[in-house]
Structures are given as structure tokens and as C-alpha cells.
A and B are shown apart, each in its own frame.
Chain A
């Protein structure tokens, strides 16, 4: 069966510090991978998605970036965090090309102080 992992589970970072969040998927190959952010009082916002190694599409212009160095690894990064980057970051994968059903990881709670 497929599983998706995210770490860290929680993170508190000062403004201006760098960020690296990691997501890995097990039990499948060549998944589509997604990064979402859920801010307090707001819905989920798609940040990035990837259909293959090195292929990243950005949905929202911001100071975040994503990379996919391996087939089942998706990394969300920032060089300098802003207060507005605080939120709950969710990684998701999909493998069914017809339905594109998305399965979500446990999330990372990021607080920028």
C-alpha cells in the first residue's frame, strides 16, 4: 500500500530564516506530487505541483520554491521566511491518471515569528 510522509511535523522559525520541508511517498512510482498551504481561516491553496523529476509548476508567485530531486521526493523551500508564510503545509500525491484522486500527508505546522 502507498504511504506519504512529511517532516517535520511542526516547525517554529524566525522571520528571514530559511525553510526546507520534505515529503516522500512510498509504494508507488511516478506519482504526481503537490504542495498546498492551509492558512488560518482560509481554504487550501495549491502552491506547486510536479508530474515528474525536475518538473515543477508554480501556481502562486511567492518567496517559496519547490524541487523534486527524486521520483518520490518533493521538497518545499524558502531562502527567507516571511510572517505570512505561517500555516499548515500539506503534501499530496496522485497516481491514477484518469481520476487524479489526491491523497494527503499528515502536514507540517509552520509558525514564523
Chain B
């Protein structure tokens, strides 16, 4: 059974810092990995999706990497801003025809002005 772990559970940084959020998964036979952002009481916003054949994806100040063999992904946020404060979730989709995503429990990020 796939398990997804996100460390740390919470992170507080001053504005302007670069930071890395970590995601690890136990079964490397994944189809893709997706990073989401969730603001309090809101739905999830898709940030980046990395296919299993890819090593990284970039969108603006965000860069996500994937090392499938070691079961790890990182989300790098450059020049953090208070508006980046949210919970960040990673989710993996298994290989084959299965469609269910397995989510980590998230990292709650606070960027202090």
C-alpha cells in the first residue's frame, strides 16, 4: 500500500527566503506526482505535475523535482512571499489503470512579512 509522507509538518520562514518542502513515497511504481496548494477552508489548487519519466517541472518561482527510484520529491519555492502561506500537499498516482491519488498530510507554510 502506497504511503506518502511530508516533512516538515509545519514551517515558518521570513519573507524572501528560499525554501524546500519534502515529499517521500514508499512505492516507486508511480504514474505521476502532483503538488497542490490549499488555503484555509478552501479547495486544492494544482501547482505542478511531474510525470514518472520527468525529473522536474517549473512554474514561476516554483520548481518541483522527482527522484522516482528513491521515492522522493521536493518543491522549491524561491524568494518566498507572505502570499505563499498555505498548506502544500503532494499526491502520487499509481502506475497502471488505477486512478486514485494518495496524498501526504501536507506541510503548513507560514511566510512572515
**A43 adjacent to B104 (CB under 8 Å):** yes
**A101 adjacent to B51 (CB under 8 Å):** no
Within 8 A of B (CB), among A80-106: 88, 90, 92, 99-106
**B99 adjacent to A49 (CB under 8 Å):** yes
Q: How large is the interface on A (under 10, 10 to 19, 20 to 34, 35 or more residues)?
A: 20 to 34
**A105 adjacent to B43 (CB under 8 Å):** yes
- In the complex, what's the smallest C-beta–C-beta distance from A40 to chain B, in angstroms? 12
**A100 adjacent to B105 (CB under 8 Å):** no
**B100 adjacent to A59 (CB under 8 Å):** yes
* Distance A49 CA – B97 CA, assembled complex (angstroms): 13
> Which residue, of A34, A44, A107, has the highest number of chain B Cβ atoms within 10 A?
A44
* Distance A107 CA – B38 CA, assembled complex (angstroms): 11
* Distance A88 CA – B37 CA, assembled complex (angstroms): 15
**A90 adjacent to B43 (CB under 8 Å):** yes
Indicate with 1 or 0, residue by residue over B75-106, a CB within 8 angstroms of chain A CB atoms.
00000000000000101010000011101111
Within 8 A of B (CB), among A1-49: 6, 32, 34, 42-44, 46, 49
Consensus secondary structure, chain A interface: strand
Count chain B residues whose beta carbon lies closer than 8 angstroms to a beta carbon of A. Answer: 23
Given contacts A44-B89, A99-B32, A99-B51, contact A104 B45 (CB under 8 A): yes
**A103 adjacent to B46 (CB under 8 Å):** yes
Which A residues are CB-close (under 8 A) to B34? 101-102
* Distance A34 CA – B41 CA, assembled complex (angstroms): 19
**A43 adjacent to B103 (CB under 8 Å):** yes
Is residue B44 contacting chain A, with contact meaning CB distance below 8 A?
yes
Q: Which residues of A pack against B, CB within 8 Å? A: 6, 32, 34, 42-44, 46, 49, 51, 59, 88, 90, 92, 99-107, 109
Extra contacts, 5 of them, besides A43-B106, A90-B43, A101-B46 (Cβ < 8 A), are A100-B99, A101-B49, A107-B42, A107-B43, A109-B41
Q: Which residues of B pack against A, CB within 8 Å? A: 4, 31-32, 34, 36, 41-46, 49, 51, 89, 91, 93, 99-101, 103-106
